[in-house]
Amino acid sequence: MRITRVLGAALLALGLAAGPAAADSSPSPSASDDGKAPTQAGTSFRTATEIEQGQQATASGSTGDYLYWSFPADTGQRPTVKATVKLPETHGSQTWQLDVYDGLRRRQACQYGAQTRTAAQGTSSVELACVLRTVRGWSEPWANDPLPGTYYIRLTVVNLGAADLGLPVNAEVRVDSKDIGGAAAVDGSLAKPLVPGIAVKSAEDEKNGSEPVLSSFGSDDGWSSGWWSDRWVWTGIGAILAALAGIGGYALTRGTGRPSRVPPGV
């Protein structure tokens, strides 16, 4: 009965511990569009329009323009960038491309998604997508791993006829993320996120002794790169399972009867 009670209490603890971990692996909620989503795009990295994850940003431009947006991504997130380009009624064949860069302006590879697509003559729109790798809390200096901070989106046409150059187009961009959690955790964290302006401090900031503003967006509680992840929960679960295995093995091997050979006089 004692072993049964111990097993029951341990299984209950496992259920309570696995609850938060399972919740962490669910997709992160998207921000709702409240009518304040950006309606224009930048023309370079320096003028990229800032958008939040979950916002549906729009912009008008011309074929041949470079359209730039930027968004924040934190440790454990796997961002998905989607773009839709609405083309004029009359046009020739056009090839559009969606590129994503990190805070160091390093082009990030897409795990999957149609990053480049060709719109045939007369096609009304073209849809592009890029699913990035999971953002890591730390990486080797020589590696090209995604790190927490600002990411840039660049949308442009890479192949079209001379007659189509300058035609008006409308673009829609949206970024969503899935929280991967401890499955992608690493032992380490960045001292500062890769955010524009991190090394810039104004004269007023220096006078007041305040820290420079890293960016106009970011998580409310700061950047979450740190020591904690749900990997610790699963490590605890493994320890409990190992302890249960030891208790069960001891109960099975110690025996329950009296010794087969009883000393004389007993």
Residue 41 counted as domain residue: yes
**Same domain flag for 181 and 242:** no
Residue 263 counted as domain residue: no
**Same domain flag for 86 and 154:** yes
**Same domain flag for 11 and 61:** no
pLDDT at 169: 95
Whether residue 35 has pLDDT greater than 80: no
**Same domain flag for 42 and 171:** yes
Residue 258 counted as domain residue: no
Tally of domains in the chain: 2
Q: What is the DSSP string of the chain?
A: -HHHHHHHHHHHHHHHHHHHHHHHTSBPPPPPP-S------BSSSTTPEE--TT-EEEEEEETT--EEEEEEE-TTEEEEEEEEEEPPSS---EEEEEEEE-TT-PBPPEEES--EEEEPTT--EEEEEEEEPPPPS---TT-----SEEEEEEEEEEEE-GGGTT-EEEEEEEEEEEE-GGGG--S---SS-B-TTTT---HHHHHHTPPPP--S---TT----SS--THHHHHHHHHHHHHHHHHHHHHHHS-SS--SSPPTT-
Residue 188 counted as domain residue: yes
Q: Which of 20-24, 42-46, 48-52 has the lowest mean pLDDT?
A: 20-24
pLDDT at 118: 95
Residue 263 burial (CB count, 10 A): 6
**Same domain flag for 144 and 35:** yes
**Same domain flag for 237 and 192:** no
Average per-residue pLDDT for the chain:
76
Q: What distance in Å separates the CA atoms of residue 165 and residue 62, rounded to the nearest whole number?
A: 8
**Same domain flag for 11 and 49:** no
Whether residue 244 has pLDDT greater than 60: yes
Mean pLDDT calculated for residue range 150-169: 93
pLDDT at 263: 60
Residue 266 counted as domain residue: no
Residue 24 counted as domain residue: no
**What are the tens digits of pLDDT across the range 72-93?**
998 889 999 999 999 999 899 9
**Same domain flag for 138 and 13:** no
pLDDT at 84: 97
Q: Which two tokens stand for residue 64?
A: 């041949």
Nearest to 88 by CA among 166, 18, 155, 151: 166
The model carries a pTM of 0.67
pLDDT at 171: 97
Nearest to 61 by CA among 152, 172, 151: 172
Q: Which of 3-7, 19-23, 161-165 has the lowest mean pLDDT?
A: 19-23
Cα distances (Å, whole numbers) of residue 149 to 158, 159, 249: 28, 31, 49
Mean pLDDT calculated for residue range 115-123: 93
**Same domain flag for 129 and 241:** no
CATH number of the domain within which 182 lies: 2.60.120.380
Residue 149 counted as domain residue: yes
Residue 264 counted as domain residue: no
Domain residues for the domain of 127 are: 29-229
**Same domain flag for 93 and 139:** yes
Mean pLDDT calculated for residue range 236-264: 73
Confidence class of residue 236 from pLDDT cuts 50, 70 and 90? confident
**Same domain flag for 6 and 63:** no
**Same domain flag for 49 and 67:** yes
